[in-house]
Structures are given as C-alpha cells and as structure tokens.
A = this chain, B = another copy of it.
Amino acid sequence: MKKDTPQHAEIIGFSVIDGCLAVGGMPVTRLAEQVGATPFFAYDRALMSARVAELRAAYPKDVHFHYAIKANPMPAVVQHLARLADGLDVASAGEMQVALDTGIDPLTISFAGPGKTAQEISQAVAAGIVINLESPHEMEVAADAATRLGLRPKVAIRVNPDFELKTSGMKMGGGAKQFGVDAEQVPQMLKRLSALPLDFHGFHIFSGSQNLREESILETQEKTINLALELASHAPRAPKLVNIGGGLGIPYFPGEQRLDLKVLGDGLENLMPRLRQELPGAETVIELGRFLVGEAGVYIARIVDRKESRGQVFLITDGGLHHQLAASGNFGQVIRKNYPVAIANRMGAPASEEANVVGCLCTPLDRLGDKVSLPRAEVGDLVAVFQSGAYGLTASPAAFLGHPPAREILV
C-alpha cells in the first residue's frame, strides 16, 4: 500500500478473539450461529454507553444530549439509549411510539420533521410530547388538535437559520429550506402562537449533520446561540429548551478523522456563559443520532461465491445494498467510496489480494467494497462492514429483489 494513499481511520472498540472480530465480546462467527442466519447487524451496547460517557466527560455539565432515533430505531437500541441520554428525538408518529415504549418522560421526547400530518400532530398532542413546529400551518393544526383534545401541548419552533453548517455532509439549515421557519419569520409566528392554546417551550435550530470539522461545528453553535437569544426576546415567555442541533460526524471514508471531543466540549463551554446568564431557565440540548450509534454497529454478511473475472477477484455475499444502501455508495454520495471492510473471521491474517466485495442483488449498484486489500477469503467466510450502526437497515430498500431481511442484535 502506498504511504500517501488516504487510509480509513482506525476501527476502535471492537476486540478480536482467536483471529475473529468480536462484538460485545462475542466472536461474530458465534453470533452468526446465535442469530441463526446471515446477514445481520450486530450493535455493541458497551460502545454506545462509552460514547455517551465520552461526551459527558468532554462537554459542559449543563449541556444535555438527545438521541435522534432515526439513526437507528431498533427498539432495543432505543431502550438502551433512553436510559443513557437525556431525551429522544423522533421524526414520525411511528418513531414516537418506539420512544414512548421506553417509558421515559414524554416531555423529554421531541418531534421534528416537515410534513407532519394532522393525524400525527394529534397523536403527538395526545402523547404529551414536545412538538417542533416546522411552519405556521403546523402551528394552526396543533392548536386545532389542542382545542379538540382539551390539552395545551408544549411546542418549540424549529428555526431555519440564516446561516449554514459549513463543510457538512448534509445541510439542513440556511437559504431556502423545507425545514423549519425562516428565522426572520419567527417573531411574527411567536406573536400568533401566544394567542393559541399552545405552550411555548423553546427553539430547535438544526443546521446540518455529519460534520468532521470542529471549527465549523463551533462556529455554527456560536451563531445558533446568538440566534436563539435574539429570537427569545420575541417569545411570549423565556424558552425552557434550546436545541442547538447536532452535526457531529463519524469517519466513513479514507482520509477522514474522528472529531476531537475535548476541542468541541471546551469550545462550547466558552459559548455557554451568555446562554446561562440570559436564559437561566433554559435546558441546552445537543441532538445526536449517528454519532451515538454509528460506530457501534457492524454489518455481517457471508461469502457465498468467490469468482475471478478478467483478473479481478469478486467476493459475492448474501448481503448487499438492500440492507446497507449507504455502504454501496448509493444514498446521497456523489462519488462512491468504500466503507471500512474486513474479513471478520481472518482478522489476524495479512492482506494478500485485492478483492471486490459485492452483494447478491442482480444490479451493478450492489457493491460493498471496491478493490479492497484483504486476506484471501473463501466461500463461508464472513465479511464485516464497519460504521454500520446508523442509517443502515432502515435506510435501505429491504424489499428490493425479494431477498430475506437482515436480522439485528444488540450485544
């Protein structure tokens, strides 16, 4: 391998037992027997716990963390994080039910997302969770539901800021957006809100996600806090919640590096005094999905064929893009790059060939690894795709081509 070729960030947290990758202390070969089938996603609960502990150690004590369950809505994962985090963020009535099933206080659950139906808003009002209003229309619909149900729901306004999170994997604020209410329209909306049977709870300002640059995240947090303070002066009462968004990314591709949590935590500590002074009753929340679970999950598929075609080796697995679309490069990426991939039962063996790792779908899109340096693998071996704990199974077209679904286990 050339020295100047960008490499994947080192995979951390997983152990190797007798040459086999282990998740939660169990070799994946044994996990495959326990599950009874491949492919499957294995999530390591200890790694999720450790990630939350790292955040708490690095960040100011009065900054709280919510888990955005869209990243991985497996009920066992949500249960685990409901106990570790300070709240849950949901993006649909379906996710709301999973969150409520954990038994946490509904007031620590918030519901964001454009295009909430009247039915969904009514369900959220009945559940007593915090509704992040994405538009004046949603506000009126929530007020109607409140009147009909005889309840006074807590609502936050999701703000589309007038700045964006630079160098972000996905931009969710700034410019014209389907998300939230343009910052400049918020004062007028707050005026109307105070006339409705709605309990103003705070602001939700989410600029983007999957960012790996500390300075961009901190710069955006500073602007977000300034914006929240400015908007608070227009509110019918002081906000009790300021959700400053998330944005913390994880390294997927060669050349990407992990964020330095100390830099992020210290940087935010420098921004907190104004917030503490001007909004002493407000809870500051950071909303994280991928960052809490992404690195804790591995997708395991079995090699069912090994083929050489015109000088290239193809390892054909029983998995593929129907379970792990993002790893195939077909979900939001412009240029396909490899996720980190390994032969899970040959972790000690040196790389001895370049192989293409593909799925079993009858489409050329179904590639899990292009020309990866791997030890020689045979039919029956297990392929591990790392960084698969977030936006894996539920973000993939499970029914495509009629293959069996992947299983999920939290170990």
Contact = CB atoms under 8 A, between A and B. Distances in A.
Nearest to A208: B364
A393 B399 contact: yes
B360 A114 contact: yes
Given A309-B160, A330-B332, A395 B400 contact: yes
Interface in A362-411: 362-366, 379, 393-404
A20 interface: no
A137 B306 contact: yes
A374 to B, nearest CB: 16
Given A170-B364, A362-B179, A365-B332, A304 B115 contact: yes
Contacts of A363: 170, 172
A80 interface: no
Given A176-B311, A310-B182, A364-B172, A91 B401 contact: yes
A403 B70 CA distance: 11
Interface size class of A (residues with CB under 8 A): 35 or more
Contacts of A175: 310
Interface stretch (A44-52, A92-100, A190-198, A273-281): A92-100
A177 B171 CA distance: 36
A176 B310 contact: yes
Given A70-B362, A309-B178, A115 B401 contact: no
A362 B97 CA distance: 17
A295 interface: no
A401 B330 contact: no
Contacts of A172: 363-364
Contacts of A393: 399
A170 B318 contact: no
Given A176-B309, A316-B114, A91 B397 contact: no
Please list the 3 inter-chain residue pairs (A to B) with the smallest Cβ-Cβ separation, ordered nearest first: A94-B402, A115-B360, A176-B312
Interface of A: 70, 73, 90-95, 98, 112-118, 134-135, 137-138, 160, 170-172, 175-179, 182, 304-307, 309-312, 314, 316-318, 320, 325, 330-332, 334, 356, 358-366, 379, 393-404
